[in-house]
Amino acid sequence: LHPIAEVFLQHGVTTAAFSANPLICAERNFDQGFEGFFEHVQEDAGTILPQAAQWVRENSENRFFLYLHLLDTHTPYKPDPFMKERFCGEAPKGYSERMTYSLLQAHLSGELEDTAKLDEFVDYYSDLYDAEIATLDAKLSSFFATLSAMGLDDRTVIAVTSDHGEEFKEHGMRFHTGQLYEESVRIPLIIRFPGFEPGRIGGVIGESDV
Protein backbone atom coordinates (compact mmCIF):
# COMPACT_ATOMS: atom_id res chain seq x y z
CA LEU A 1 0.00 0.00 0.00
CA HIS A 2 1.13 3.55 -0.76
CA PRO A 3 0.09 6.85 0.83
CA ILE A 4 -2.51 8.67 -1.24
CA ALA A 5 -0.15 11.58 -1.93
CA GLU A 6 2.42 9.18 -3.37
CA VAL A 7 -0.20 7.58 -5.63
CA PHE A 8 -1.26 11.00 -6.90
CA LEU A 9 2.35 12.02 -7.48
CA GLN A 10 3.03 8.83 -9.46
CA HIS A 11 0.14 9.82 -11.75
CA GLY A 12 1.43 13.29 -12.48
CA VAL A 13 -0.52 15.20 -9.84
CA THR A 14 1.22 18.08 -8.07
CA THR A 15 1.12 17.52 -4.30
CA ALA A 16 1.56 19.67 -1.20
CA ALA A 17 0.65 19.60 2.49
CA PHE A 18 0.38 22.20 5.23
CA SER A 19 0.34 20.79 8.76
CA ALA A 20 -0.12 22.56 12.09
CA ASN A 21 -0.06 19.26 13.99
CA PRO A 22 3.39 18.48 15.45
CA LEU A 23 2.62 14.77 15.08
CA ILE A 24 1.96 15.12 11.34
CA CYS A 25 5.51 15.92 10.37
CA ALA A 26 8.34 14.92 8.06
CA GLU A 27 10.20 13.33 10.96
CA ARG A 28 7.41 10.73 11.12
CA ASN A 29 7.48 10.29 7.32
CA PHE A 30 4.17 12.03 6.71
CA ASP A 31 5.89 13.96 3.93
CA GLN A 32 6.01 10.81 1.77
CA GLY A 33 4.56 11.63 -1.64
CA PHE A 34 4.40 15.40 -1.11
CA GLU A 35 6.50 17.65 -3.31
CA GLY A 36 6.04 20.40 -0.77
CA PHE A 37 5.51 19.65 2.93
CA PHE A 38 5.12 22.77 5.04
CA GLU A 39 5.15 22.43 8.82
CA HIS A 40 3.51 25.20 10.85
CA VAL A 41 3.53 23.72 14.34
CA GLN A 42 0.44 24.86 16.26
CA GLU A 43 -0.07 27.93 14.09
CA ASP A 44 -3.69 28.84 13.44
CA ALA A 45 -5.60 28.71 10.17
CA GLY A 46 -5.39 32.48 9.80
CA THR A 47 -1.68 32.04 9.12
CA ILE A 48 -1.77 28.78 7.17
CA LEU A 49 -4.74 29.26 4.82
CA PRO A 50 -3.40 32.39 3.05
CA GLN A 51 -0.17 30.50 2.32
CA ALA A 52 -2.14 27.52 1.09
CA ALA A 53 -4.23 29.83 -1.13
CA GLN A 54 -1.03 31.26 -2.60
CA TRP A 55 0.20 27.73 -3.33
CA VAL A 56 -3.07 27.02 -5.15
CA ARG A 57 -2.69 30.21 -7.22
CA GLU A 58 0.77 29.09 -8.28
CA ASN A 59 -0.47 25.60 -9.20
CA SER A 60 -4.03 26.25 -10.37
CA GLU A 61 -3.22 25.22 -13.94
CA ASN A 62 -2.03 21.80 -12.79
CA ARG A 63 -3.90 18.84 -11.41
CA PHE A 64 -3.14 19.10 -7.72
CA PHE A 65 -3.69 17.40 -4.38
CA LEU A 66 -3.53 19.71 -1.37
CA TYR A 67 -3.71 18.39 2.20
CA LEU A 68 -4.44 20.78 5.05
CA HIS A 69 -4.17 19.65 8.67
CA LEU A 70 -5.45 22.44 10.91
CA LEU A 71 -5.27 22.48 14.71
CA ASP A 72 -7.44 25.45 15.63
CA THR A 73 -10.09 23.43 17.46
CA HIS A 74 -7.56 21.94 19.86
CA THR A 75 -6.86 23.54 23.22
CA PRO A 76 -6.14 26.21 24.20
CA TYR A 77 -9.28 27.68 22.65
CA LYS A 78 -8.79 31.21 21.31
CA PRO A 79 -11.88 32.01 19.22
CA ASP A 80 -12.45 35.20 17.31
CA PRO A 81 -13.92 37.88 19.64
CA PHE A 82 -17.10 38.06 17.55
CA MET A 83 -17.64 34.29 17.78
CA LYS A 84 -16.76 34.29 21.46
CA GLU A 85 -19.41 36.92 22.13
CA ARG A 86 -21.91 35.00 20.00
CA PHE A 87 -21.41 31.60 21.64
CA CYS A 88 -20.17 32.35 25.14
CA GLY A 89 -21.66 34.19 28.06
CA GLU A 90 -19.58 35.82 30.74
CA ALA A 91 -16.80 33.61 32.08
CA PRO A 92 -17.68 32.06 35.48
CA LYS A 93 -16.05 33.64 38.50
CA GLY A 94 -12.60 32.17 39.04
CA TYR A 95 -12.59 30.44 35.65
CA SER A 96 -9.34 29.48 33.97
CA GLU A 97 -8.33 26.62 31.73
CA ARG A 98 -5.84 25.42 34.34
CA MET A 99 -8.49 25.42 37.08
CA THR A 100 -10.88 23.51 34.81
CA TYR A 101 -8.22 20.83 34.29
CA SER A 102 -7.54 20.65 38.03
CA LEU A 103 -11.22 20.24 38.91
CA LEU A 104 -11.68 17.61 36.19
CA GLN A 105 -8.70 15.63 37.44
CA ALA A 106 -9.99 15.80 41.00
CA HIS A 107 -13.41 14.64 39.81
CA LEU A 108 -11.98 11.70 37.85
CA SER A 109 -9.89 10.60 40.81
CA GLY A 110 -12.91 10.76 43.16
CA GLU A 111 -11.52 13.65 45.23
CA LEU A 112 -14.19 16.19 44.25
CA GLU A 113 -17.52 15.88 46.06
CA ASP A 114 -19.20 19.13 44.97
CA THR A 115 -19.13 19.33 41.18
CA ALA A 116 -21.19 22.52 40.79
CA LYS A 117 -18.20 24.73 39.97
CA LEU A 118 -16.75 22.06 37.70
CA ASP A 119 -20.03 21.81 35.78
CA GLU A 120 -20.11 25.58 35.37
CA PHE A 121 -16.52 25.70 34.14
CA VAL A 122 -16.99 22.78 31.74
CA ASP A 123 -20.14 24.35 30.27
CA TYR A 124 -18.20 27.53 29.56
CA TYR A 125 -15.27 25.54 28.18
CA SER A 126 -17.66 23.72 25.84
CA ASP A 127 -19.03 27.06 24.65
CA LEU A 128 -15.47 28.19 23.89
CA TYR A 129 -15.05 25.03 21.83
CA ASP A 130 -18.19 25.87 19.83
CA ALA A 131 -16.89 29.40 19.28
CA GLU A 132 -13.56 28.01 18.10
CA ILE A 133 -15.28 25.69 15.61
CA ALA A 134 -17.32 28.62 14.28
CA THR A 135 -14.14 30.68 13.98
CA LEU A 136 -12.43 27.98 11.93
CA ASP A 137 -15.57 27.51 9.82
CA ALA A 138 -15.47 31.20 8.89
CA LYS A 139 -11.80 31.00 7.94
CA LEU A 140 -12.43 27.93 5.79
CA SER A 141 -15.37 29.67 4.12
CA SER A 142 -13.04 32.50 3.13
CA PHE A 143 -10.51 29.99 1.78
CA PHE A 144 -13.16 28.21 -0.29
CA ALA A 145 -14.37 31.57 -1.60
CA THR A 146 -10.81 32.20 -2.78
CA LEU A 147 -10.85 28.90 -4.68
CA SER A 148 -14.17 29.89 -6.23
CA ALA A 149 -12.74 33.25 -7.31
CA MET A 150 -9.95 31.36 -9.10
CA GLY A 151 -12.56 29.47 -11.11
CA LEU A 152 -11.74 26.10 -9.58
CA ASP A 153 -15.28 25.17 -8.54
CA ASP A 154 -15.97 22.99 -11.56
CA ARG A 155 -12.80 20.88 -11.31
CA THR A 156 -11.96 20.53 -7.63
CA VAL A 157 -13.07 17.86 -5.16
CA ILE A 158 -13.11 19.12 -1.57
CA ALA A 159 -13.17 16.76 1.43
CA VAL A 160 -13.46 17.87 5.05
CA THR A 161 -13.10 15.51 8.00
CA SER A 162 -11.70 15.28 11.53
CA ASP A 163 -9.71 12.75 13.52
CA HIS A 164 -11.90 12.94 16.65
CA GLY A 165 -14.43 14.95 18.58
CA GLU A 166 -14.38 16.12 22.19
CA GLU A 167 -16.23 15.09 25.32
CA PHE A 168 -17.13 17.64 27.96
CA LYS A 169 -18.08 15.41 30.90
CA GLU A 170 -21.11 13.89 29.10
CA HIS A 171 -20.04 10.51 30.48
CA GLY A 172 -17.95 11.84 33.30
CA MET A 173 -14.90 11.89 31.04
CA ARG A 174 -13.00 14.66 29.30
CA PHE A 175 -11.85 15.57 25.80
CA HIS A 176 -10.80 12.60 23.62
CA THR A 177 -8.77 10.12 25.62
CA GLY A 178 -9.80 7.07 27.58
CA GLN A 179 -13.18 6.45 25.97
CA LEU A 180 -14.93 5.67 22.67
CA TYR A 181 -18.28 7.41 23.11
CA GLU A 182 -20.04 9.17 20.24
CA GLU A 183 -18.68 12.53 21.35
CA SER A 184 -15.20 11.35 20.37
CA VAL A 185 -15.73 8.91 17.51
CA ARG A 186 -18.59 10.49 15.55
CA ILE A 187 -16.84 12.79 13.12
CA PRO A 188 -17.86 14.57 9.91
CA LEU A 189 -16.96 13.43 6.41
CA ILE A 190 -18.08 16.05 3.91
CA ILE A 191 -17.16 15.59 0.24
CA ARG A 192 -18.07 18.02 -2.51
CA PHE A 193 -17.94 16.72 -6.07
CA PRO A 194 -18.46 19.24 -8.88
CA GLY A 195 -21.59 18.36 -10.82
CA PHE A 196 -23.13 16.17 -8.11
CA GLU A 197 -26.31 17.10 -6.29
CA PRO A 198 -25.98 17.44 -2.49
CA GLY A 199 -27.01 14.38 -0.50
CA ARG A 200 -26.54 12.74 2.86
CA ILE A 201 -25.74 9.22 3.98
CA GLY A 202 -26.88 8.30 7.48
CA GLY A 203 -25.12 5.89 9.81
CA VAL A 204 -21.54 4.72 9.92
CA ILE A 205 -19.48 4.97 6.72
CA GLY A 206 -16.90 2.30 6.00
CA GLU A 207 -14.34 1.64 3.31
CA SER A 208 -16.92 -0.16 1.15
CA ASP A 209 -19.07 3.00 1.08
CA VAL A 210 -16.35 5.28 -0.28
Tens of pLDDT, residue by residue over 62-108, are: 999 999 999 999 888 899 999 999 999 999 999 998 998 898 888 88
pLDDT on residue 207: 61
What are residue 196's DSSP bridge partners?
none
Count of residues making up the chain: 210
Q: What is the average pLDDT across 9-29?
A: 96
Distances (CA, A) of 53 to 66, 137, 142, 203: 10, 16, 10, 34
138: Cβ contacts below 8 Å, ≥ 6 apart: 80, 83
- 8-12, 32-36, 194-198, 204-208: which has the minimum mean pLDDT? 204-208
Q: Is the pLDDT of residue 177 over 70?
A: no
pLDDT on residue 123: 92
Q: Is the pLDDT of residue 124 over 80?
A: yes
What residue type is assigned to position 59 of the chain? N
Taking the mean position of all CA atoms in its chain, how far away is CA 201? 21
Please state, in angstroms and rounded to a whole number, the distance separating the CA atoms of residues 131 and 181: 22
pLDDT on residue 175: 67
Average pLDDT, the chain: 90
Q: Is the pLDDT of residue 33 over 90?
A: yes
Q: Is the pLDDT of residue 179 over 90?
A: no
Q: Is the pLDDT of residue 210 over 60?
A: no
What angle in degrees, to the nearest 10, is found between the helix axes of 97-108 and 116-149?
120
- 3-12, 26-35, 109-118: which has the minimum mean pLDDT? 109-118
Yes or no: say if 17 and 66 are a contact pair by the CB < 8 Å rule: yes
Q: Read off the pLDDT band of 1 (50, 70, 90).
A: confident
Q: What is the average pLDDT across 136-159?
A: 94
User: What is the CB neighbour count within 10 angstroms for residue 122?
Assistant: 21
Q: Is the pLDDT of residue 36 over 70?
A: yes
pLDDT on residue 206: 66
Q: Read off the pLDDT band of 166 (50, 70, 90).
A: confident
Rg (Cα) of the chain, in Å, rounded? 20
User: What is the CB neighbour count within 10 angstroms for residue 74?
Assistant: 15
Phi and psi angles of residue 189, each rounded to the nearest 5 degrees, phi first = -140, 100
Q: Is the pLDDT of residue 172 over 70?
A: no
Phi and psi angles of residue 103, each rounded to the nearest 5 degrees, phi first = -65, -40
% pLDDT > 90, the chain: 63
Please state, in angstroms and rounded to a whole number, the distance separating the CA atoms of residues 104 and 94: 15
pLDDT on residue 173: 66
